[in-house]
Structure 1
Amino acid sequence: MKYFKDLIPYIFILLIIFSCSSKAATEIEEEEEEEEIVVVVDDTDFDPIDWTDATHSKSADPNFDEVFEDNTVKRLDFVISEENWQNMLDDMTSLYGTFGVGSGPGGGSTFSDEDPIFVPGQVFYEGIEWYKVGLRFKGNSSLQSSWQSGILKLSFKLDFDEFEDDYPQINNQRFYGFKKLSLKNNYDDSSMLREKVATDVFRNAGLAASHTAFYTLYVDHGDGPQYFGLYTLVEEVDDTVTETQFSSDEGNLYKPDGDAASFASGTFDEDEYVKKNNEDDADFTDVQSLLSIINDGSRTTDPATWRANLDAIFDTEVFLKYLAVNGIVQNWDTYGRMTHNYFLYNNPDTNKLTWIPWDNNEALQTGKMGGALSLNFSGLSSSQWPLIGYMYQDDVYKEKYDAYLEEVINDAFNETTIQELYTSYAALIEEFATSEVSGYTFLNSSSSFQSAVSTLKSHATSRKNAVDAYLN
């Protein structure tokens, strides 16, 4: 027993050494796991022989007729080197865990606030090549869910001069006047129509919103072109929407994300009012004023003054029409339920913050994630979502909102017109949607496509009935 007591100090020292060694080994492993993925930049000596002013130059005006044609399905091809494709997959693994493994133990994080990496790749369209285009995966929960479900039909972000510093030949490269585009994968949408139709409705209602179009995508990452499926190409707000749908694109453009995006009292945070331009200008007084005024006590003590102050800095007419459209198409994945998926643009013509809708793939359905807000916003916490709650409680604004509901249901979302649009678009895309292959599709079967289209048509009827019941 005496000998054991004599050994205790030595045993204690050995335990400390073992613990430190284990910790050091763990730190080394973590450092190895966190090793930066290096994007391969090669083949810098090339001649962009397909380059023309109309197709590639920054001097060309955006060609909407070419890029966003409604009544056809066009094709895009990506060519990505085998090494860079592996880099993209490795990066996704670091962000979301092992491909095909759900969240939880061994399944990676539930959300990543980092964007996937850009890699240079070739884009081909109608036999023309665009060179060393920045390509990356895009999305948040939809990207994570697709990845962890083992579906490689992922959304892409395209930036045509992302790598111009590495490849001077592509300085200010554009795609028919567009610098950036989103290629949406129609996540969890068996009809593959929701993103396009919902955005069409916003635009047809006279609101600033992105152009959209249907495209098939093929990706060659070393083994020849692989059909990735039917996508919806979406115009980027911070590229050409503000440039072409306003007189100037020099006003502050925000993409709020986080608590501050609710505009609830006490939530102001410059970091969450994410500026998409004018980043070097530290002036956030426009969004700060909106938050202050919408929550000001004069709303109940002097409503006329409150409305005048709000109208001076916020385009309330646009917002109320947006509310009407969004309520009719039923998009739950935006303001009122989620603190993201919209832009605010300080229109230089009016000096008013103007609402721009974004990301409509979850629209045109009932019940998912608890469903969209009701037309009368019952159950909404006005203090949590004051832009809706406080404006709807005001008799003047409510009257305007009601008038926009009636206008939209009789025009931009007219039941007969929308159902005919569904029929037309479905006939256009059916062969491309139902020919998607396993591992690159959200369709359970080809019959689920037509079933989803029928559901959309029934939804149009139900929304007509809902608006009639509300107004009457």
Structure 2
Amino acid sequence: MNQLRFILPTVVFLCWVAACKPKEEEVTPDVTATNPDWTAESHGNDVSPNYAVVFPQEAVNALEITIRKTQWDSIRTDMKAKFGRDFGAGGGSPGGGGIGGGGNGGVPTFGTGEPNYFAVTMKFNEKTWTNLGFRLKGNSSLSSIWRSGIYKLPFRLKMDEFEDQFPAIKNQRLYGFQELSMSPGYGDNSLIREKVAADIFREAGVPAAKTAFYKVYIDFGEGKKYCGIYTMVEVIDDTMVKDQFTDDPEAKGNIYKPESTFQSFVQSQFEKKNNKEEANYGDVQAFITALNATNRTSAASIWRDNLEKTFNVDHYLKYLAVNNTMVSWDVYGAMAHNYYLYNSPTKKLIWIPWDHNEAMKTSGRNAVSLAMTEVAKTWPLLRYVAEDAVYYAQYKQYVAAFTNNVFTAAKMGTLFDKYHNLIAPYVNGSEVEQKPYSNLTSTAAFTSELATLKTHVNTRNQAVATFLK
């Protein structure tokens, strides 16, 4: 009996301890057990995006990606099912509309859906990220590169895409970034257009994604290969809006990646990048209604007032002045893509430019002219701005300011030289881009394209002088 007096309290105490112990599923997985490189700063999601580390402006980072042979085979199977051709199979190019309409009204088409994500391993900054999402991305560029059998493919990274299958990577980040886009500079022998165009927009007061150069090495299942210089591009709905629009630090306003000409509202043409659970498209519906109102010419001031209640026209005019001056054809006016709309709580719908590898080119498709007189009504946002005297006068002022203050031969020459010299050692120096791991015409073309860019600036300045007479 005396023994029971001591045993019973002990049993009760042990039961109480057991009851207080957290259940197994409530315990946070020990990520360091599966990835010893994991730190709160590098892999965690409770830190601010580290732009200095991920987007350096004075250095070229290196990225290594390992794709298992079975995964590369699955990527080919996925692309063949959606695109209709295997890697390197050649064939035609995807459809699309040109200036003033045509084709399918300017709405780009490619395949039957976005390529799938696959869980890969990545090394960066002497650390490893496991089971992050990797998928191919793009439209005409992806189509052309894929058909040509070039391994320097455009792709996208999502750090926590597979967190449900791999709980140890829950909320995995790359120094605070969840998603990143990798542009291979397709069609750009200079390999700097994506970078400099984004810099130019921001210098002119038009928010645009941050960018940085990367040497990229990819193992497609048969050993690591050097795939040359990429431009890493910040994802708009991940960090860009939060970083550059201080009136909405949590980016709660709707962010769209449209494929619309704005002739009418078609919900499927307005892909939501956030607030996806809310079926509320009232902001863009109101914008399109105001844009296409019948009082546009009969009561122009009322039309402008109503339009400005839904859309930041002044910001768009500034964007338009920059884009039309430096020239970028693969945008609204030729194709109904390569832009975002963000509904700022204080500035209304804001136009955000995207995808600049076709910027500052005079060859290829015709771009929208400075005067915009050739633009058809199938592109109402361009046509109606050009036809409104008040908006057109403001647009011309922005063209003059941009040309005089930003897009000068001296400033652009310095910018071009800086980035050309920064990446040159990794294009035709200590490391060389070469097919089938490069889209360059030749390394000689990389060198000569620098002069082409500088000549382009002079040519456009002359065109502006003529336009503003």
Q: Same fold (TM over 0.5)?
A: yes
Query: How many equivalent residue pairs?
Result: 417
Per the alignment, residue 76 of structure 2 pairs with: 89
| In structure 2, C-alpha distance between the alignment counterparts of 1:128 and 1:252, rounded to whole Å | 35
- 1:99 aligned onto 2:113: no
Which residue identity is paired with 1:93? K
Per the alignment, residue 423 of structure 1 pairs with: 417
Which residue identity is paired with 2:378? Q
Which residue identity is paired with 1:404? Y
| In structure 1, C-alpha distance between the alignment counterparts of 2:187 and 2:275, rounded to whole Å | 35
Secondary structure of 2:237 counterpart: helix
Secondary structure of 1:368 counterpart: coil
Structure 2 counterparts to residues 383-462 of structure 1, below 5 A = 383-434=377-428, 435-462=432-459
Q: Deviations over 1:384-404 (max 9, x none)?
A: 111111112111111110111
| In structure 2, C-alpha distance between the alignment counterparts of 1:409 and 1:372, rounded to whole Å | 18
Among 330, 342, 345, the residue aligned to 2:342: 345
Deviation at 1:76, TM superposition (A): 0.2
Q: Deviations over 1:347-372 (max 9, x none)?
A: 0233x110000111111101312x21
| In structure 2, C-alpha distance between the alignment counterparts of 1:126 and 1:244, rounded to whole Å | 23
Which residue identity is paired with 1:236? V
CA contact (8 A) 2:375 2:383 kept: yes
Compared CA separation, residues 113 and 323, structure 1 to 2 (3 A): farther
CA contact (8 A) 1:192 1:433 kept: no
Which residue identity is paired with 2:258? P
Per the alignment, residue 8 of structure 1 pairs with: none
Per the alignment, residue 361 of structure 1 pairs with: 357
Which residue identity is paired with 1:377? M
Secondary structure of 1:123 counterpart: strand
- 1:335 aligned onto 2:332: yes
| In structure 1, C-alpha distance between the alignment counterparts of 2:427 and 2:369, rounded to whole Å | 32
Q: Deviations over 1:93-140 (max 9, x none)?
A: 3333122222259xxxx8314111111111111211112110111111
Which residue identity is paired with 2:222? D
Deviation at 1:222, TM superposition (A): 3.1
Q: Deviations over 1:270-329 (max 9, x none)?
A: 111111111121111111111111111221111111111111111011100000011012
Structure 2 counterparts to residues 18-417 of structure 1, below 5 A = 47-96=34-83, 97-104=85-92, 111-246=110-245, 247-248=247-248, 249-257=251-259, 261-264=260-263, 267-350=264-347, 352-369=348-365, 371-381=366-376, 383-417=377-411
Which residue identity is paired with 1:439? P
Which residue identity is paired with 2:228? G
Which residue identity is paired with 1:196? K
Deviation at 1:92, TM superposition (A): 2.1
Secondary structure of 1:306 counterpart: helix
Which residue identity is paired with 1:191? S
Which residue identity is paired with 1:100? G
Which protein is richer in helix relative to its size?
1
Compared CA separation, residues 100 and 81, structure 1 to 2 (3 A): closer
Which residue identity is paired with 2:81? S
CA contact (8 A) 2:209 2:233 kept: yes
Which residue identity is paired with 1:67? V
Deviation at 1:165, TM superposition (A): 0.4
Q: Deviations over 1:178-234 (max 9, x none)?
A: 100001110011110111111111111111210001001001233332111110000
Deviation at 1:378, TM superposition (A): 2.2
Which residue identity is paired with 1:363? A
| In structure 1, C-alpha distance between the alignment counterparts of 2:41 and 2:149, rounded to whole Å | 39
Which residue identity is paired with 2:444? S
| In structure 2, C-alpha distance between the alignment counterparts of 1:98 and 1:270, rounded to whole Å | 32
Deviation at 1:45, TM superposition (A): 11
| In structure 2, C-alpha distance between the alignment counterparts of 1:74 and 1:439, rounded to whole Å | 22
Secondary structure of 2:424 counterpart: helix
CA contact (8 A) 1:158 1:182 kept: yes
Regions of 4+ moved over 6 Å: none
CA contact (8 A) 2:373 2:386 kept: no
- Normalising by the residue count of structure 2, what TM-score does the alignment of the two structures yield? 0.86
CA contact (8 A) 2:32 2:38 kept: no
| In structure 2, C-alpha distance between the alignment counterparts of 1:151 and 1:84, rounded to whole Å | 17
CA contact (8 A) 1:133 1:162 kept: yes
**Residue ranges of structure 2 left out of the alignment (5+ in a row):** 1-30, 94-108
Report which structure shows greater RCO (CA 8 Å, sep ≥6).
2
| Range 444-453 or range 157-166, more displaced | 444-453
| In structure 2, C-alpha distance between the alignment counterparts of 1:212 and 1:331, rounded to whole Å | 18
| In structure 2, C-alpha distance between the alignment counterparts of 1:188 and 1:396, rounded to whole Å | 37
CA contact (8 A) 1:443 1:449 kept: yes
Which residue identity is paired with 2:369? S
CA contact (8 A) 2:89 2:149 kept: yes
